[in-house]
Amino acid sequence: MTRKALKAKIEEGLFPGEVLVRIRDAEDRDISFFAPKAAVHPAAGGGEVVTVRVISATGAHCLIELPGEVYGAGRIVAVPATDLTAA
């Protein structure tokens, strides 16, 4: 499985070692989850990205596994391939 960087909005988490991550899935829905700070890195063009594991890629979408605790969704989600870059 490949690791990639997923563009996201990052906010402070409830505890010192975590952050709140907000992403958009392939169906343009908001998904929020808590991730370890170690999974977040600066993006090349500014902002921040979160490291995810790519399970499969099918054309315009990729199936990924999110790090950390996910609420209201599973840890496996489809995202637009354009939201992923090399980790």
The domain tally of the chain equals: 1
Note whether 21 and 31 are within 8 A (CB): no
Give me the DSSP letters along 11-39. EE-SSTTEEEEEEE-TTS-EEEEEEEGGG
User: Residue 73: pLDDT above 70?
Assistant: no
How many angstroms separate the Cα of 3 from the Cα of each of 63, 64, 72? 12, 9, 23
pTM (two decimals): 0.87
Domain interval for residue 27: 2-86
Note whether 23 and 75 are within 8 A (CB): no
Report pLDDT digits (tens) over 9-58. 999 998 999 999 999 999 999 998 999 999 999 988 888 999 999 999 98
The structure tokens listed for 50 are 């979160």
